[in-house]
Structure 1
Amino acid sequence: MGKVIVIEHLTLDGVMQAPGHPEEDPRDGFRHGGWANRNQDPAMQQVMGRHMSSTWSLLTGRTTYERFADYWPKQPPNPFTDALNRVQKYVASTTLTEPLTWQNSTLLKGDAADAVSGLKEELPENLVVFGSGVLVRSLLERNLVDTFVLLIHPLVLGSGRRLFPDSGSDLSAFELVDSVTTGTGVIIATYQPSARLA
C-alpha cells in the first residue's frame, strides 16, 4: 500500500504560495513569488531525492499541475526534470478534461479524497505531492497524509496562501521523525501524524 508524502516550502508565517518564481501564482495579488530561491541548498535536493529515488507517483491539484505541465517539459535535461516528466501523474480536478497535456497524466474522477484513498489501497508506490494546497487540506480532513516534509525558510512574508488555514480545522498533532538544517538556514522537518494530541 502506498503512502501520501507532502513536500512543501513554507515561510515562518506558514505561506506556501509561489515559492519558485515571480509569476508562479499571483492569485489574490500575491507579489512575493520566488521567495524560496534565495535559500537554495544541495541538502534540499538530497532530502527530496530520497522520496523520489524509489518507485513513486506524482499527485497534484489543478493549479500545481497546470504550472508544472507548462514549465517542466520545457526545461533542459537534469535528474529532477527527467523524473517529473517520466513519472506517472495523478491529477485531482473538477474542471480539467482528458486528455491531459503532460505525458503520463491521469485525471482522477469524482471526489479527490475518495480517489486518493482508493489509489493508496491499489498502488504499491508512494504518492508525492508538491504545492497543491487545496488538495492537501482535503486530504488532511480525511487523514490521508502519511508524511509531511516541510522546508521551512527563515522568512516572514505577511501575506499569501497558507498550508494550514486559520480556522475550520480540527486539532492535529504530528511527530518529528527527521530534521536537517541547511547552510542557508532552512529547516527541513519531516513529520508524521501522531496518535496522541497534546
Structure 2
Amino acid sequence: MGKVVLVDHLTLDGVMQAPGRPEEDARDGFAHGGWAVPGNDEVMGSVLAEGMGQGGALLFGRRTYEDFYGFWPHQGGNPFTDVLDRARKYVVSRTLREAPWANSVLVRDVGDVEGIKRDEGLTVLGSGVLARELMRRGLVDEWLLMIHPLVLGTGRRLFDGVEVGMRLVDSVVTTTGVVIATYRGREEA
C-alpha cells in the first residue's frame, strides 16, 4: 500500500498561500506572494530533489495543477522540470474537462484518492483545499513541511479547520533558517 505525503512551504503562522511568485495566488487580496523564495538554498534543493528522485505519482488540486502546468513545462536548467513532466500526475477536480499536462489523470472525486493510494504512493505539492480534505479523511501519512522564519499575519493556512496528531521523525535546518520537518501521523510507525 502506498502513502500520501504532503509537501508544503509554511510560515510560522501556518500560511501556505503563494510561496513561489507574487502572481501565484492573490485570492482574498493576498499581497505577499513569493514569500518563500528568500528561504531557498542548496540544502532545501537537495532535500526536495532527494524526495522527487524517489518517484511515485503526484496529486494536485485544480488550482495548483493549473499553476504548475502554466509554469514548470516552460522552465529549463533545473532538476525539477523533467521530473515533473515524467511523473504521473493526478488532478482532483469536478470542473476541469481535461488534464493536458503529459502523464496527467483527471480524478473527479476526492474519495477516489483512497483507491489510488492503495496502488501507489502519492505526493501532494501545495494544493491547500485538497490537502485539508485529505487530512480530514485521514488519508495523509506524512508531512514534509518547510517552515520559514516568517510571520505574515494573513493568508490561507494549511491547517485551517483540521485537527491532526503528528510526531516528528526528521528535521534539517537550512542555511537560511528554514526548518525542514518531516512528520508522520502518531499511529504510523
TM-score, normalization by structure 2: 0.95
Asked whether 1:152 is paired with 2:119, we answer: no
Deviation at 1:173, TM superposition (A): 1.3
Distance 1:169 1:156 in 2: 20
Look up the equivalent residue of 1:84 and give its one-letter code. L
Unaligned runs of at least 5 residues, structure 2: none
User: Residue 188 of structure 1 corresponds to which residue in structure 2?
Assistant: 180
User: Residue 125 of structure 2 corresponds to which residue in structure 1?
Assistant: 130
Structure 1 stretches of 4+ with a deviation exceeding 4 A read none
Look up the equivalent residue of 2:139 and give its one-letter code. L
Q: Deviations over 1:18-54 (max 9, x none)?
A: 0001000000000000000111111112212222112
Cα RMSD of the aligned pairs, angstroms, is 1.3
User: Residue 169 of structure 1 corresponds to which residue in structure 2?
Assistant: 162
Report if aligned partners of 2:20, 2:34 keep a CA contact under 8 Å in 1. Answer: yes
Distance 1:144 1:48 in 2: 22
Distance 2:167 2:50 in 1: 19
Distance 1:55 1:190 in 2: 18
What secondary structure is seen at the aligned counterpart in 2 of 1:9? strand
User: Residue 25 of structure 1 corresponds to which residue in structure 2?
Assistant: 25
**Matched pairs, number:** 188
What secondary structure is seen at the aligned counterpart in 1 of 2:177? coil
Deviation at 1:101, TM superposition (A): 1.8
Deviation at 1:55, TM superposition (A): 2.4
Asked whether 1:116 is paired with 2:109, we answer: no
Distance 2:124 2:55 in 1: 14
User: Residue 107 of structure 1 corresponds to which residue in structure 2?
Assistant: 106
User: Residue 14 of structure 2 corresponds to which residue in structure 1?
Assistant: 14
Deviation at 1:115, TM superposition (A): 1.1
Look up the equivalent residue of 1:107 and give its one-letter code. L
Look up the equivalent residue of 1:144 and give its one-letter code. L
Deviation at 1:77, TM superposition (A): 4.1
Report if aligned partners of 2:132, 2:162 keep a CA contact under 8 Å in 1. Answer: no
Look up the equivalent residue of 2:184 and give its one-letter code. Q
What secondary structure is seen at the aligned counterpart in 1 of 2:168? strand
Instruction: Tell me the percent identity.
Output: 56
Distance 2:158 2:43 in 1: 22
TM-score, normalization by structure 1: 0.91
Look up the equivalent residue of 2:86 and give its one-letter code. R
Unaligned runs of at least 5 residues, structure 1: none
Look up the equivalent residue of 2:24 and give its one-letter code. E
